[in-house]
Each structure stands twice: as structure tokens, then as C-alpha cells.
Amino acid sequence: MQGAMTVGLVLALALAAVFPPPVPAAPYPTKPITLVIPWPAGGITDMMGRTFAKVLPQTLGQPIVVVNRPGGAGTIGTTECIRARPDGYTTCITAAGPLTTQPHLSKLPYSVEDYIPVLHLGNNPIVLAVRADAPGPTSGP
């Protein structure tokens, strides 16, 4: 009986050495989070970001600081976000273009491999509209 207990104890110690107990994660967030919006104030992305910034502190317990960095069709603010310390305290809300299209069209200081999308907040449909009696593909030459 004592030999079985010794084997069991040795086995338990060996398993504890191989599979140590998990280390608790550091609390997050412990300070305000910056939300970079690479568009001017008043547009749809800005309105969505500011709405998000009002609601999220209720869950996280920290304020969200909104910073608009317009210019370069969204690339100036996106660049600021990509260059920020990767600690979860600087994030970016943007349309898809600066992250998906522009890196393929221009030489930018970031590429599609430099970011990780974490949340899809919504869609912004874009529509081309003309008068009903305007000439179109079916009424052309």
C-alpha cells in the first residue's frame, strides 16, 4: 500500500512539473485605451467609433480616448495605430480600404500582415444612384 502511495505521489509531482498550474493573467485594462479614428469627425466611422467609445467603458472599467487622425484616405491614422506599442492600449476603427486595398495600390509603412482585425462593428453600404431615366448599360449604343 505504501509503495502505491509513493508511486502515486511521484506521478502527481511529475505531472505537476510537466503541467504547472496556469498563471493568472494580468488585469486588463488598467489605464485608458486610445481609439484612433483615421477619418475626420462627423463621418460614419467617427460616429460608430464614438458610440463604441461611450459603451465600452461600462464593460472594461476604463475610459476610451477618441483621437481623430484624418488624411491620406485613412492611412495616416492607420499608420499611427500600426506603429503603436502592441499592448492593447491603442486600437483603430476604420473602413476596410486602408487595411485591404491601399497596401496593394501604394507603398505604405504597413502591410496587411501588420494588423489583426478583432471586431466587425458594422457595414457601410456604398450605392451608386442615377435618375431612373438616365441612359445606362441596357440603353447605350
In a domain, 50, yes or no: yes
What mean pLDDT do residues 70-81 have? 94
In a domain, 78, yes or no: yes
Average pLDDT, the chain: 84
In a domain, 56, yes or no: yes
* Lowest pLDDT segment from 77-81, 88-92, 123-127: 123-127
> In this predicted structure, what is the pLDDT of residue 97?
87
Largest CA distance in the chain: 98
Chain segment 31-66, per-residue pLDDT in tens:
999 999 999 999 989 999 999 999 999 999 999 999
For 2, 8, 37, the CA distances from 11, given in Å and listed in that order, are 14, 5, 55
Number of domains the chain contains: 1
In a domain, 90, yes or no: yes
> In this predicted structure, what is the pLDDT of residue 68?
97
In a domain, 12, yes or no: no
Rg over alpha carbons for the chain, rounded to the nearest Å, is 25
In a domain, 134, yes or no: no
In this predicted structure, the answer to whether residue 138 has a pLDDT above a threshold of 70 is no
Parent domain of 54: 33-114
Which region holds residue 88: left if phi is over 0, alpha if psi is between -120 and 50, else beta? left
% of the chain at pLDDT higher than 90 = 44
> In this predicted structure, what is the pLDDT of residue 13?
60
Q: What is the pTM of this model?
A: 0.71
* Lowest pLDDT segment from 20-24, 97-101, 116-120: 20-24
> In this predicted structure, what is the pLDDT of residue 141?
43
% of the chain at pLDDT higher than 70 = 81
In a domain, 130, yes or no: no
For the domain that residue 81 is a member of, what is the CATH number? 3.40.190.150
In a 3-state reduction of DSSP, which class is residue 71? coil
Which region holds residue 73: left if phi is over 0, alpha if psi is between -120 and 50, else beta? left
Determine whether 85 is exposed, middle or buried from the number of CB atoms within 10 Å of its CB (0-12, 13-18, 19+): exposed
In this predicted structure, the answer to whether residue 104 has a pLDDT above a threshold of 50 is yes
In a domain, 63, yes or no: yes
